[in-house]
Each structure stands twice: as structure tokens, then as C-alpha cells.
Amino acid sequence: MADRARKVDYFKTIIPNRPGQGAKACGPLKDAGVNLLALHAFPAGGRAQVDLIPERRGDFQRAARKMGLKLGPRKTAFLIEGDDRPGAVAGILKKLGAAKINVVAVSAARTGKRYSGLLWVRPRDVAKAARVLKAR
């Protein structure tokens, strides 16, 4: 399968940076049947920022509201996927660089013979990046 990119919605939440807090934030989503395409968490100012990328935005927002999870505004990232090979992500980064689009962050991993990852650009560059990546 060729490389593929698609725009995805994500929402951030800030939680305490302590043991068990990630499970406390994600457990009720699981119980509500919410499927996440990805989750990205990292320390931020003594707390932890969790970026949640839901498969179905409406279901996710309803569940988050019901559990009292405070979400930031909806933002856009790119989910990238393809057959694993040396330099797969480098090729994507090269295309964006050639278009003068700065990648704010990227996180990718290999699973079996495939790779997938998340890629963030500035909001003003989302439409241009979508064209370059042929993202839907």
C-alpha cells in the first residue's frame, strides 16, 4: 500500500502528571465505547498534556462532556500510514520542507511491516500541507 495521509481532529486536555491519571482520563472513554486513533501525551509545565485523536468526533465529545473532561478547542493533525521502509517518514518531511511548511511535531512508529504516525503543522499551514500530502 502506498503512503497515505489524512487530516484528523484532535483535542488536548491537561491532567496531573502523576501515576494513574492517564488511566483515569482514558478509562471512561473506553467504557463509553470511544475508539481513539491515537493518543499522544507528554509533560507540560509540571502537568501532562494529552492529545486525543478520536475515530468519531461526536461520540468522543459526548463522552468527554459526560465525564467532565475539559478539552481544548478542536485542532487538526495528520495521520500518516504506509508500508515500512527506510526513510518512509523522511520522504514525507522532505515534501513538506520543499513546500516551505514547518513541521511542528512528528511521532511515528513501526508495527509489523507498516508504519503510522502523527504529524502537526501550524494551523495556517494545514490546508497547504493537506494539498502537498494529498490528505483527505
Please check whether residues 19 and 48 belong to one and the same domain. yes
CATH of the domain at 95: 3.30.70.260
CB atoms under 10 Å from CB of 129, counted, come to 23
Same domain, residue pair 52 and 87: no
Q: Is residue 3 part of a domain?
A: no
Q: Which domain holds residue 34?
A: 9-74
Tens digits of pLDDT across the chain (136 residues)? 578 999 999 999 999 999 999 999 999 999 999 999 999 999 999 999 999 999 999 999 999 999 999 999 999 999 999 999 999 999 999 999 999 999 999 999 999 999 999 999 999 999 999 999 999 8
Give me the pLDDT at residue 136, please: 87
pLDDT of residue 22: 92
Are residues 59 and 89 both part of a single domain?
Answer: no
- Spatial contact of 11 and 69, defined as CB atoms under 8 Å apart: no
User: What order do you get walking across the sheet with 75-83 strand by strand?
Assistant: 36-44, 47-54, 4-16, 75-83, 114-121, 103-111
- Choose one of 24, 54, 74: the last residue of a domain: 74
